Chains A and B, each alone.
Chain A
């Protein structure tokens, strides 16, 4: 109903301002991303230089993730989003359903400055879908209040599940993803065996059982801005969140938080191009420009997410406004303490796991 309302509103608006349509004009691109500090970093690193170079106007559109809007546009046959910033799990599903355009990485993307082919330059394991070009590595990671337990500081995932030594509320994302992995990790499963264990029925039961030990101390969040707020208010002592959000809370707002990098879950975010978009040629040009070595390194000047190209790594410098050395704030620096989400496992199991998780919450 909301969508219908929106369309009728659009239609009315379209009639009123004749000539002005929502579809892109030639020499214009609609680029969609997550909003906030993240979109700002992309506008400074990709959009503005690109417009300066080519004269193409870029409309930046915010969304809150997920494939709902893209699927609705594809079904209605009126695709107005040209380039979309998605998490890899959505890219895999959208690619399989034909919403996104397959990309030949070596032919259509820029080489590294030393001539290395693009497929070799992107970090290992990041090219998981033929439609998806990785931009950044981010992580979902725990942070805690420095003043919560006197001088005591948590050092590992086990401490998060230890209510005796580290009492207080925890705020976790209301989703089985990551939480089940962390529960197993805290239960003594080694990093490289997590998905092997989770693939068995006994492993799933074990993960839910471990999670149940802290269930009544958990405040579940659904919006990424909430956990830093809960920690700042003293409502929670531990929280999971995107590392970029924690960085801005700690470095920019000077909150008394620290990161617990142990068990961080690395995830990949990147661009896809609509298969049925109206400006595919222009979109591909923009894609090639924004995913080259320099642009990815530039983005890290504005936000603490690690660039997805190996050749961009050494070029990451100081924060453009705060003057902080960004290297130590990149999740890629602590990669050995965490693990990469198994996207394929989740693509298969998320429907069932999410239903089970919802039922578990109700018990």
Chain B
């Protein structure tokens, strides 16, 4: 450690301080200024992005309802072995909890929570809470059994005991088409009740298909845009951007008018005799509709990065390749295409990730064959109010996107991605 040893080896700034320290101070000041400038963005990202995601992930395991609103029953059930119906103290605790819950008018939350696990427990809880007001003294076992037939089902007690814990993996099991059976073992749902696995698979397959179609369609357009003289390419660019600036809903609705069986496209087909009037093509409310509408909506996200990459490729490279004896096809494949890979990568990642989370367009034109996992998430957020399950599905979707991103980075390398 070199303490101040006069001028020996230490360069001083004009004010006599060591230059290194001075430099550090200036850098720190700059860093602070930069931080201040990005602070609004950071705060925005924190509130609009990070906190909701953390909250969502937390909800997917949070299981406070039973433990908090039925504390005595939860405690009394802790030592229950699960082989036969519980003993009298459990019923006494249950009645006390139900009475308190009826009074605070919050017992319905327990009903809602338990009903996700087993149908019918909602009304068991709410009706028992109403009836419990009349129960004055024990023994309670027989009285509770009489209140609702589900109390006489051993499985009910298993469900309550399992959900007395403050955290649960139940939502994730549900999201992976699994469930607890009557004895508490984890099993797969029967084949005809599985939803989410299929939907995840379909979401990735559709997104992949859309990405590929986008590359195929966007490549020639971008090439044309990048090579045409400016006054033509500007006009073409407007054709690309105009739909990009149009509202998503307007474009989706326009596709409905175009594609429906009495729509423009089918009318044209019939007019030219391509299809029979009685057998008009079903182009919408199915997978075809989703793919067509989403490809159209996402196409600019592929065209723009491709265009900006192609714009930077000097035309002399191709000419050089040709003059060195390559035929036009070889020159294109071996010289031109490799240089556009970074654009293809950037566009593909954009389109793929955007389409994985799409939900308005599939909801409007997807019918049953063309809906995606995000539609099911929206359904659990808005209609069924099963926010835990929505959180679990969302977290799984997020994790799979991150995994794909990681994979992409390993294989292609994120540094090779260029947006312009």
Contact = CB atoms under 8 A, between A and B. Distances in A.
Interface in A152-211: 174
Interface string B382-399: 111110000000000000
A1 B48 contact: yes
B262 A235 contact: yes
Contacts of B376: 358
A146 B221 CA distance: 48
B193 A222 contact: no
Interface residues of B, number: 43
A264 to B, nearest CB: 23
B123 A68 contact: no
Interface stretch (B194-202, B210-218, B240-248, B344-352): B194-202
B197 to A, nearest CB: 10
A219 B195 contact: no
Contact of A351 (B44, B115, B363): B115
A66 B383 contact: yes
Nearest to A94: B108
Contact of B52 (A4, A98, A358): A4
B261 A235 contact: yes
Interface in B181-215: 192-195, 198-199
Interface SS, A side:
helix
A68 B122 contact: no
A326 B225 CA distance: 62
A61 interface: no
B48 A344 contact: no
Interface string B35-65: 0000000001001110111000000000000
Given A96-B107, A97-B108, A98-B105, A347 B122 contact: yes
Contacts of B385: 66-68, 71
A362 B199 contact: yes
A219 B121 CA distance: 33
A96 B386 contact: no
Contacts of A360: 192
Contacts of A97: 105-106, 108-109, 112
Contacts of B382: 66, 68
A222 B262 contact: no
A205 to B, nearest CB: 10
Interface in A62-102: 66-68, 71, 93, 95-98, 102
Interface in A29-76: 66-68, 71
B123 A5 contact: no
Contact of A234 (B108, B126, B262): B262
A350 B384 CA distance: 8
B106 A362 contact: no
B104 interface: yes
A199 B116 CA distance: 18
B252 to A, nearest CB: 13
Interface string A1-20: 10111001000000000000
B67 interface: no
A358 B195 contact: yes
B172 to A, nearest CB: 15
A8 B195 contact: no
Contact of B262 (A8, A233, A356): A233
Given A8-B48, A96-B111, A351 B367 contact: no
Interface SS, B side:
helix
Interface residues of A, number: 40
A98 B106 contact: yes
Nearest to B108: A96
B409 interface: no
B260 interface: yes
Contacts of A234: 262
A347 B124 CA distance: 11
A1 B49 contact: yes
B119 A349 contact: yes
Interface string A327-363: 0000000000000000010011111111110111111
A289 interface: no
B165 interface: no
A220 B368 contact: yes
B138 interface: no
A346 to B, nearest CB: 10
Nearest to A222: B363
A252 B51 CA distance: 49
Contacts of B383: 66, 68, 354
A220 B382 CA distance: 18
B102 to A, nearest CB: 10
Contacts of A359: 192-195
Contacts of B47: 4, 8
A363 B382 CA distance: 24
A68 B106 contact: no
Interface string B261-276: 1100000000000000
B285 interface: yes
Nearest to A219: B285
Given A98-B104, A219-B285, A363-B192, A351 B119 contact: yes
A93 B122 CA distance: 9
A316 B275 CA distance: 52
B109 A354 contact: no
Given A349-B120, A351-B386, A362-B368, A1 B52 contact: yes
A83 to B, nearest CB: 19
B108 A98 contact: yes
A4 B192 contact: no
Contact of A233 (B199, B260, B367): B260
Nearest to A350: B384
Given A1-B49, A8-B44, A348 B195 contact: no
Given A348-B119, A363-B192, 7 more contacts: A1-B49, A66-B382, A98-B104, A233-B260, A235-B261, A349-B120, A351-B119
13 contacts: A66-B382, A71-B385, A93-B112, A96-B122, A174-B368, A222-B363, A344-B123, A347-B122, A350-B384, A351-B115, A358-B195, A361-B368, A362-B198
